[in-house]
Structure 1
Amino acid sequence: MKKRLAIVVIALVVVFGGIFGYKAFGNYMMHKALAHMPVPVISVSTSRVAEQEWHPEVTAVGSFAAIQGVEVTPQMGGAITAIHFHSGQYVKAGTLLLQIDNSNQLAQLANDEAQQRLAQINLRRTRELIATKAASQSQLDSAVATYQSAVATVKNDRATLAKLAIRAPFSGYLGVRQVDLGQYIIPGTAMVDLQSWDPLYVNFTVPQSDFARIHMDTPVQVEVDSYPGQHFSGKITALGSAINTATRQIDVQATVPNPKTILRPGMFGNVTVIEKRQEKVLTVPASAITYNTFGDFVYVVEKKAVNGKEGQVAIQRIVKTGTQRGSEVQILSGLQPGELVVTAGQIKLHEGSPVEIRDSGKS
């Protein structure tokens, strides 16, 4: 039994040994054949490292705000007797929006106007009498005071009536009406909001480290998600008077024209402050950058012997990137002007891969 088992084990060793030996021999012969074959050349697209002049930028997230915007509220209480506007309507300054019940005030005004007329008649008669010395100076003084008091009372009545007639304090667009006809309202009740849309403020903050780069009238561009690809231009019109000690940020306000009224107060946008000065930077197409956890890199094309003759190979180069503008990325270190970088075909490359340039930009 043991002898038979030993024979079986030996037979298996011989069989498997033959199989593995055959595979090892095959691999050896394949590697030997490949070693004598020319290294495949990979076709790539390239672009040269360019030196450009860029305006330095500061970026922030901002919020649009109306230059003039209020929640229209009454100063006096009462029942609404008339509504003269529609939600979303554009109104000019002084437009009558709502009327609060003013019947008592109108009656009071009529009474006080009658008292004013009577005081005016008495004053005129007293002046006529004093001219003939039929009245004393004290009587004239009393008549003058009575008339002036009557005039002041009428002015007070008219001021009260004006407060019961709610008018637009400035030109702008109304929001959604929040009150109804016949509703009794009290001082401070929100009736409708009124906003001016052109121009708009953009409020944002920048860290104190960038404060020296922010100046009055510096141009800004704002992008909003609602209108991708569009840039809204403006300029800085106000700076905060102090740095916030909690955040070490300073408030900045820019004014942006909105002639088409497509922007709205409360929208947020990405603000770019564009400095007036220029600086030279190195740039490459964004497609040339391979982003990696261990460091971003590009493939630089260099001349080197390939398959026994002069050719070109791809060399991996670690780079430090800066800001991106459109399709161009700023290179802070790792490249020199004029060097050739691969912009397409990197996925097939490894260190030292022979390459053939099918097209080249910025050459």
Structure 2
Amino acid sequence: MRIDRRIVIGIIVIVAIVLVLRGCHSSSPLPDVSKTPSEVAVKVITQPLSFSENAQRYETVGTGRAQHSVDIYPAVAEEVSDVLFTSQQRVEANALLVQLDDREETLAVELAQVRLQQAEAMLQRFEQAVKKGAVPQSEVDTARADFEAAKVALDQAKLALAERQIRAPFAGVVGIAQVDPGDRVATDTLITGLDNREHIYVDFDIPEALAGTLQQREQPTVQATTPSFPNRIFEGRIIASENRIAPERRTLQVRASIANADDMLRPGMSFTIRWDISGDSYATVPEIALQWGRDGAYLWVIREGKAEKVIVQVVARIAGRVLLDGALKENEPVVVEGVQRLRPGVAVEQLEQPAS
């Protein structure tokens, strides 16, 4: 029986190919099976872990008032003799602002002084006479009472005279004079307003939830802006608070003090108050670093060259980053790319974060 020549040639070719392939395979290095999967380094991109405060901002509005402010009225009804101030003038404490007609009161003081001198002289004579037995003790007692009454009468006359002088109760800036010389004023006639505006006070309400935060901080700093100076930010401090929560609104009234050394601010201005409230410090990572599993949120952290899974709690999300609470340390590397092949204990090769 003859064998087809083409079949023989085909068999020879196949055998040759098999021998060639076997030779190539035997010349290739055998894989290193001595390393376990956990020892094969996985390439990842990391970022150092940083911490930041969980700050929040409370914003509200309020109206400014002077540190000290008063409307000045006369103590008595009388005619105005002179007005001794001009609008926006700075005055010292006890400065004379308005003089009322005091001619009668001046005479009354002079008369009281004369009567006091007479009473004092009479008392001295009786005290000398009683030593000689010339007058009874009762006469001395009467003279002493007259002397004391004369002193009181002089004090009353001086008080009436002083009431004709309208003075500044504290240092500050006066407003427009509401009276002129010759005007007849009564006790309800407004003379002017007086403000000490070295500091401007702004009262505003905060929610009940922030009352505890206020107690933990001594005079926290606030920032204030006003439409009168839209490009300026004024620094202030919370210096006082009410002693109770308003039950109908569940708010607490507080007072901020804003320094006004350059005298730009005025009582009555509207203010926007911003209070940045610092909180606890938390780890912050890019959102892409945060992973989720059956146990919740977690990160891959590189410790001693190996991947470690750390369970975390999400505190807040701010502008593409996440604040986290967990067993984390400052500056330790956190995996941001390459998490798909990671397992606990896997060796890793850290690559530099590409420039953004």
After TM superposition, is the score higher than 0.5?
yes
Alignment of structure 1 residues 39-188 onto 2, 5 Å: 53=53, 55-188=55-188
Q: Tell me how far 1:55 sits from its aligned partner.
A: 3.4
Decide whether aligned partners of structure 1 residues 146 and 330 sit closer, same or farther in structure 2, where only a CA change above 3 A counts. farther
Decide whether aligned partners of structure 1 residues 87 and 156 sit closer, same or farther in structure 2, where only a CA change above 3 A counts. same
Decide whether aligned partners of structure 1 residues 362 and 279 sit closer, same or farther in structure 2, where only a CA change above 3 A counts. farther
Q: How big is the alpha-carbon RMSD for the aligned residues of Structure 1 and Structure 2?
A: 2.9
Q: Tell me how far 1:148 sits from its aligned partner.
A: 0.5
Report the AA paired with residue 240 of structure 2.
A
Alignment correspondent of 1:273: 275
Secondary structure, in 3 states, of the residue corresponding to 1:68? strand
Pick the structure with greater CA Rg. Answer: 2
1:236 aligns with 2:251: no
1:208 aligns with 2:208: yes
Contact 1:174–1:194 (CA under 8 A) maintained in structure 2: yes
Alignment of structure 1 residues 24-35 onto 2, 5 Å: none
Alignment correspondent of 1:306: none
Q: Tell me how far 1:247 sits from its aligned partner.
A: 2.1
Contact 1:281–1:331 (CA under 8 A) maintained in structure 2: no
Distance across 2 between alignment mates of 1:280 and 1:62: 33
- How many residue pairs get aligned? The number is 250
Contact 2:82–2:180 (CA under 8 A) maintained in structure 1: no
Q: Tell me how far 1:116 sits from its aligned partner.
A: 0.8
Distance across 1 between alignment mates of 2:201 and 2:146: 52
Report the AA paired with residue 234 of structure 1.
G
Alignment of structure 1 residues 232-311 onto 2, 5 Å: 232-277=234-279, 279=281
Contact 2:51–2:281 (CA under 8 A) maintained in structure 1: no
Alignment correspondent of 1:291: none
Report the AA paired with residue 198 of structure 1.
E
Instruction: Give TM-score, length-normalised by structure 1.
Output: 0.63
Contact 1:64–1:264 (CA under 8 A) maintained in structure 2: yes
Unaligned runs of 5+ in 1: 1-49, 285-320, 324-328, 340-360
1:72-120: CA deviation from partner (whole Å, max 9, x where unpaired): 1111011101111111100000110001111121122222211111101
Unaligned runs of 5+ in 2: 1-49, 287-315, 324-334, 338-353
Distance across 1 between alignment mates of 2:182 and 2:285: 68
Contact 2:53–2:279 (CA under 8 A) maintained in structure 1: no
1:181-210: CA deviation from partner (whole Å, max 9, x where unpaired): 110010021110000011221211112133
**Identity level (%):** 26
Alignment correspondent of 2:298: none
Secondary structure, in 3 states, of the residue corresponding to 1:230? strand
Report the AA paired with residue 62 of structure 1.
G
Decide whether aligned partners of structure 1 residues 117 and 84 sit closer, same or farther in structure 2, where only a CA change above 3 A counts. same
Q: Tell me how far 1:144 sits from its aligned partner.
A: 0.7
Moved over 4 A (4+): 50-54, 278-284, 329-333
Decide whether aligned partners of structure 1 residues 133 and 255 sit closer, same or farther in structure 2, where only a CA change above 3 A counts. same
Report the AA paired with residue 251 of structure 1.
Q
Distance across 1 between alignment mates of 2:211 and 2:176: 40
Secondary structure, in 3 states, of the residue corresponding to 1:179? coil
Q: Tell me how far 1:51 sits from its aligned partner.
A: 8.2
Q: Tell me how far 1:255 sits from its aligned partner.
A: 1.6
1:19-44: CA deviation from partner (whole Å, max 9, x where unpaired): xxxxxxxxxxxxxxxxxxxxxxxxxx
Q: Tell me how far 1:273 sits from its aligned partner.
A: 1.8
Decide whether aligned partners of structure 1 residues 338 and 97 sit closer, same or farther in structure 2, where only a CA change above 3 A counts. farther
Contact 2:68–2:196 (CA under 8 A) maintained in structure 1: yes
Q: Tell me how far 1:245 sits from its aligned partner.
A: 2.2
Alignment correspondent of 2:15: none
Distance across 1 between alignment mates of 2:202 and 2:214: 15
Contact 2:99–2:165 (CA under 8 A) maintained in structure 1: yes
Secondary structure, in 3 states, of the residue corresponding to 1:61? strand
Contact 1:56–1:278 (CA under 8 A) maintained in structure 2: no
Secondary structure, in 3 states, of the residue corresponding to 2:58? strand
Q: Tell me how far 1:269 sits from its aligned partner.
A: 0.8
Work out which of the residue numbers 207, 217, 226 in structure 1 matches 2:228. Answer: 226
Distance across 2 between alignment mates of 1:271 and 1:155: 51
Distance across 2 between alignment mates of 1:197 and 1:246: 33
1:34-76: CA deviation from partner (whole Å, max 9, x where unpaired): xxxxxxxxxxxxxxxx986463322211221112100011110
1:274-296: CA deviation from partner (whole Å, max 9, x where unpaired): 32435559799xxxxxxxxxxxx
Alignment correspondent of 2:37: none
Q: Tell me how far 1:252 sits from its aligned partner.
A: 0.3
Distance across 1 between alignment mates of 2:270 and 2:82: 37
Report the AA paired with residue 240 of structure 1.
E
Contact 1:58–1:210 (CA under 8 A) maintained in structure 2: no
Q: Tell me how far 1:130 sits from its aligned partner.
A: 1.7
Contact 1:242–1:250 (CA under 8 A) maintained in structure 2: yes
